[in-house]
Amino acid sequence: MRVVFLGAPGVGKGTQADRIAAQFQVAKISTGDLLREAVRNRTVLGLEAKNCMDQGNLVPDDVVVRLVREKLADANCANGFVLDGFPRTVPQAEALGRVLSANGMALDLVVNFQVPREDIVRRLSGRRSCPKCQATFHVDFAPPKVDGICDRCGELLGQRSDDRRDAIEMRLKIYNEQTAPLVRYYDERQLLHPMDASGAVDVVFQHLSQELAPYRAT
Ligand code: AMP
């Protein structure tokens, strides 16, 4: 199973990618997670990427393509992978195509997650995460048992710097300008599959697992 999860920030790609990866035993490759880890570890890559990320801008194509190329070479991708948040530009999609075909592989499917804009802003601005164990919560939809405290490890919850209002607006603008063209790009290649992701997490997951079942590795 080799799939891409495409969609604006806040549509739930990451949450669904975690579940699908566990259910189908494939690797989840999230460029956002990889970049945030690099920022936390203060690596050269993290220091380079931090400013772009805080403002809601994209990190340069060559940086993320290199990250993904390394991850795809890992043994845990042998069974397949879910790409979450990559590609985000047409040049990234072209680079992905080249990396896969150089290894005799191709994508099976690109799932296009769709959620109305007002729901996206509500989802993102209410999102809280644990700086220690990375668990995520939502002030309305998935609140922690004790306000502001991580259920899993007891740490004080925080807000991602790019989940603040101004950064959200910037991320949505960038999505429309740079990532939305991928809908047409993959539609022309007959890989695009629309997915209504406005429902509850469990409902979306059920639909998604049904759609992806034919691509399960045998
Ligand atoms: P995400 O967690 O997918 O919302 O990504 C968080 C941030 O990481 C984005 O707003 C970008 O700054 C950066 N990022 C993640 N994936 C990419 C990508 N494929 N290309 C460029 N920047 C990315």
The secondary structure of 109-129 as a DSSP string is EEEEEE--HHHHHHHHHTEEE
Residues within a 6 A CB radius of ligand 1: 9, 31-32, 35, 52-53, 56-59, 64, 85-86, 88, 92, 162, 171
CA of residue 218 to ligand 1 center, whole Å: 32
What pLDDT digit, counting tens, does each position of 173-202 carry? 999 999 999 999 999 999 999 999 999 999
Is the predicted pLDDT of residue 161 greater than 90, yes or no?
A: no
In the block, tokens 């199973």 appear at 1
Mean pLDDT for 193-214 is: 95
Identify the pLDDT of residue 111: 98
Residue 86: pLDDT over 80: yes
- Say if pTM beats, i.e. exceeds, 0.85: yes
Cα of 78 vs centre of ligand 1, distance in Å, is 24
Separation between Cα atoms, residue 57 and residue 33, nearest integer Å: 15
Over residues 53-68, the mean pLDDT reads 92
pLDDT of 55 strictly over 90? no
Residue 13 is among the residues annotated as catalytic for this protein = yes
Active site residue 160: yes
Whether 117 is catalytic is no
Mean pLDDT of the chain: 93
pLDDT band at 218 (very low <50, low <70, confident <90, very high): low
Q: Give the whole-angstrom CA distance, residue 34 versus residue 170.
A: 21
User: Separation of 38 CA from ligand 1 center, angstroms?
Assistant: 12
Contact 168, 56 (CB under 8 A): yes
Contact 61, 91 (CB under 8 A): yes
Residue of 28, 36, 88, 128 with catalytic role: 88
Annotated active-site residue in 13, 28, 123, 128: 13
pLDDT for res 79: 87
- Return the ligand 1 atom nearest residue 9 CA: 4
| Among 54, 67, 60, residue whose Cα is nearest residue 171 | 54
Annotated catalytic residue 164: no
Task: Spell out the residues 6+ positions from residue 36 whose beta carbon is closer than 8 angstroms to its own.
Answer: 53
